[in-house]
Structure 1
Amino acid sequence: MIADSEVETEIVVRKARDRDGESVGRFLVGLSSANRYQRFLSSGISYVSPALIREMVTVTPSQLALLALDGDTVVGHVMAVRSGERAVDLGIVVAEAYQHRGIGRRLVRELADTIAAFGVTEVRCDVLSENYFVLGWLRRSLSDIRCERSGETTTVHGSLPVHAG
């Protein structure tokens, strides 16, 4: 069995590419309904559409998507979509078998380092209010965090940490 620290070092994180669509599709189909619900905040994602897959691999000047790969297998995805001059909306999901191993933290760290070069300093993300693990992680990870609860979701705003490049 591979130790958790070894798993993180074997994972490659890189920008998504158009040709990653099939791998991302398999990744999304492999997520449990609970994990899909936590990422997309919708229980209606039972079918992974080609449009959703395209959106999740598209990289533009206003959208960045990074993948965590174990070999050729996508095990994590993070996406930032510009929502203002210095802000992005953030979405992240890690395959259940790879959770709690630092992969999500690494995805967000690499995303933050990349978008910081473009002057982005603020993030916003919607999280299920019952997802205490992610909310706790965000509280530890973002400076000056602000949370707004609305029904089942909490919208989190905060400043990205500055990492030495």
Structure 2
Amino acid sequence: MAQQTAEVRGSTIVEAVGCAGRRLVARLAARSSQESLAARFFLPASRPVGRPLLELLPGPAEGRAYLAMDDGRPVGLVNVIPSGPHEVEIAVLVADRWQHRGIGRALIEHALGDPRWAGQTVHAAVRPDNIAVLTLLRSLHRPMRLVDHLPGEYHFELGTRADAEAEAPRRAG
């Protein structure tokens, strides 16, 4: 596992790589509730999340997975996955006991700060009833635009920090 790290509120963020990264992602899934996993995969909370879906959590080879670690335990995950020319999609999972502590936001900011994703348009899909993730996306201080909605799904496009800085004077004036 690569040791590209950052400190965040007592947690360390590392890039999950190889077999060691997959094992840590599996440990995170094991400490996440069925409801949290179902929300991550857009499933009804009553439907068990099976092994084939859990094996998708580390993400595809062309993407990256970043883990928040607390005292050696994985407590959060963000995936960044190329989805088109100059576009990436993000997805986040934070273990239940560590939710609402800023870990999701720290993971996303860390991941999007990686030079590999600089200038990329960021997409995020969210269930309309997932208030926690909607609030998380708004807390990123990036322009956020609803680009599509389907039954049970919102699709957002997030701008860069430079977009937010360029937009700030226009909002103030």
TM over 0.5: yes
Measure the CA separation in 1 of the matches of 2:144 and 2:156.
10
The CA distance in 2 between the partners of 1:65 and 1:10, in whole Å, is 20
Aligned to 1:10: 10
Shift, 1:58, TM fit = 5.5
TM-score of the aligned structures, taking structure 1 as reference length: 0.80
CA RMSD of aligned residues (A): 2.4
1:82 touches 1:88 (CA, 8 Å); kept in 2?
yes
- Residue 71 of structure 1: aligned partner: 71
Aligned length: 153
Gaps of 5+ in 1: 1-6
The sequence identity of aligned pairs, in percent, is: 22
Q: 1:83 to 1:46 in 2, by over 3 A?
A: closer
- TM-score normalised over the length of structure 2: 0.77
CA displacement, residues 7-63 of structure 1 (integer Å, 9 cap, x when unaligned)? 9432110100211222221211221111011111124443334x843x433574x30
Q: Deviations over 1:59-90 (max 9, x none)?
A: 74x30110101122110000011012211011
What is the rounded CA distance, in whole Å, between the counterparts of 1:9 and 1:144 in structure 2? Answer: 26
Per the alignment, residue 4 of structure 1 pairs with: none
Deviation at 1:133, TM superposition (A): 2.4
Q: Does 1:125 align with 2:140?
A: no
Q: Structure 2 stretches of 5 or more lacking a match? A: 1-6, 165-173
Deviates more, 1:120-129 or 1:131-140: 131-140
Which amino acid is the alignment partner of residue 32 of structure 1?
Answer: S
Structure 1 letter corresponding to 2:10: E
